[in-house]
Structure 1
């Protein structure tokens, strides 16, 4: 299972307040909806690490996560985001950047974008 799909499965569990978690892209028929809270998770970039004997021994995957909050919801964004960050950390992810909450000028929908990384060793990726 790809890191994106692993993160999606985890986000479904960690964010019961979200109506849906989509990998890679939000379906076109859902994009205009503002009455659901949606999380989008997609790959940002990867890096090879822990070199020894001309061989890398781990991969750090970086994912971009965006939360699109339903308009008119009563969630306390600070609380749900802080809890989500802590839960992600407890599940082996590192929060590397939080862009800051913004409001879409067309839909008036609040959204947050942040990036996470997860380091995976070759031993866990390529079991013998």
Structure 2
């Protein structure tokens, strides 16, 4: 399984998450009345060099939460719970970009950049 597939599986298995989770792309017919997460690759870094070879690969990925226009969820609470859940599953948070509004759907969304390291 790829690092991105693992992240998808972890989020999709979260018992507190009530929306749909997608990997890389979102279906065109999804409405702004649905809350969902999309996970995407970001960058990869080679780390911990020894004997002319890397020992660790860091996978950086992004998680975007798109909130339903009809949502009455406390967005801060949803994000903090998701971040704690991800951390408890071995991910580290690199950046939380700040909630903005999608210009096409007018949904608020948050982007969280996270990483996971795997040793060779």
Q: TM-score, length-normalised on structure 2?
A: 0.93
Hey, what does 1:22 align to over in structure 2?
A: 22
Q: Return the match for 2:59 from 58, 61, 66.
A: 61
Which structure shows the higher helix fraction?
A: 1
Deviates further, 21-30 or 56-65: 21-30
Q: Look up the match of 1:70.
A: 68
Distance 1:28 1:104 in 2: 15
**How much does 1:16 deviate?**
2.0
Report SS of the residue matched to 1:16.
coil
2:49 match: secondary structure: coil
Q: Who is 2:99 aligned against?
A: 101
Deviation at 1:107, TM superposition (A): 2.2
Higher strand fraction (1 or 2) = 2
TM-score by structure 1 length? 0.88
Cα distance, 1:106 vs. partner?
A: 3.3
Structure 1 unaligned residues grouped into runs of 5+: 123-128
Q: Aligned-pair distance for 1:13?
A: 2.0
Question: How much does 1:90 deviate?
Answer: 1.0
**1:38, distance to aligned residue in structure 2 (A):** 1.1
- Three-state SS of the structure 2 residue aligned to 1:43 is strand
State the shift of 1:74 in Å: 1.2
Partner of residue 10, structure 2: 10
**Aligned residue-pair number:** 119
